[in-house]
Amino acid sequence: METLFNKRLQVYVKCKDCEERKANIRVNIDLLVTSNPVYKRDLVVRLTDDVDPYFLYSLSISEEDYQSLKVQQGLLIDFASFPQKFIDLLHLCLAEQEKESPRFLLHLACQSSLHDSAAHFSVVETNAFKHLNHLSLKLLQGSDKEVKDYLATCLSSLKEDKQSLEIKLKKTEEDLSRQLAYAQQ
């Protein structure tokens, strides 16, 4: 698994029956390559929220899935070039997000009815004339099991972070106490 992109981006989140809100959403793009039994590439797009552990939307795009996406969205590039093009669009949004009227925006429209937990994640350019939809991906809300697995991963990496912090704290205390003792001699 190769992580191609992992950054927090400003996203306009609109859920059914809720006001639109601006949120910092972590966008993660992984390329999954399996060669057993057959060579297969999948692009996995995942949206999470560092402050809301239950927030998880994802989409896995195989080469075959991409063919329908390509037709449906009128894309001109092939599967191999798609990830970089998508990332370029995200970087455009990132560069614009601090501006007063950003030209590129990310939108996430959730259909939060109980039976349909899909959300459309879109890169939208706004010019003087209209909103241009550069790309719109349909993501699915994580199931209990998916959220559980995601949280277990977060927990384990956070535990590692905490451990290295503890080691660093201990080392800092020792180093500085030693230097202090030496200086006070």
- Quote the least distance from Cβ 179 to a second copy, whole Å: 6
Note whether 159 binds a second copy by CB under 8 A. yes
Smaller CB separation from a second copy, 78 or 174? 174
Q: Is 156 in the site for a second copy (CB under 8 A)?
A: yes
Ranges within 110-149 binding a second copy (CB under 8 A): 143-145, 147-148
151 binding a second copy? (CB under 8 A)? yes
- Choose between 52 and 64: whose C-beta lies nearer to a second copy: 52
Residue number with CB closer to a second copy (80 or 152): 152
Long-range interactions of 167-176: CB distance < 8 A, separation 24+? none
Cα 45 to Cα 24, 116, 175, 179: the distances in Å are 16, 19, 44, 49
154: contact with a second copy by CB under 8 A? yes
At CA 121, angle to CA 26 and CA 136, rounded to 5?
Answer: 135
- Applying CB under 8 A, does 24 fall inside the site for a second copy? no
Residue among 150, 120, 116 at smallest CA distance from 59: 120
Closer residue to a second copy (CB): 116 or 161: 161
3-class secondary-structure state, position 80? coil
Q: Which residues contact 59 (CB under 8 A, 6 or more apart)?
A: 44, 45, 46, 121, 137, 138, 139, 140
* Residue from 60, 51, 47, 58 nearest 11 by CA: 47
Residue 160 CB, nearest approach to a second copy (Å): 11
Query: Quick check: 169 binds a second copy (CB under 8 A)?
Result: yes
Q: Give the angle 133-94-42 at the CA atoms, nearest 5°.
A: 65
DSSP 143: P
- The reply to whether 22 sits near a second copy by the rule CB under 8 A is no
Binding residues vs a second copy (CB under 8 A) = 53-54, 143-145, 147-148, 151-152, 154-156, 158-159, 161-162, 165-166, 168-169, 172-173, 176-177, 179-180, 183-184
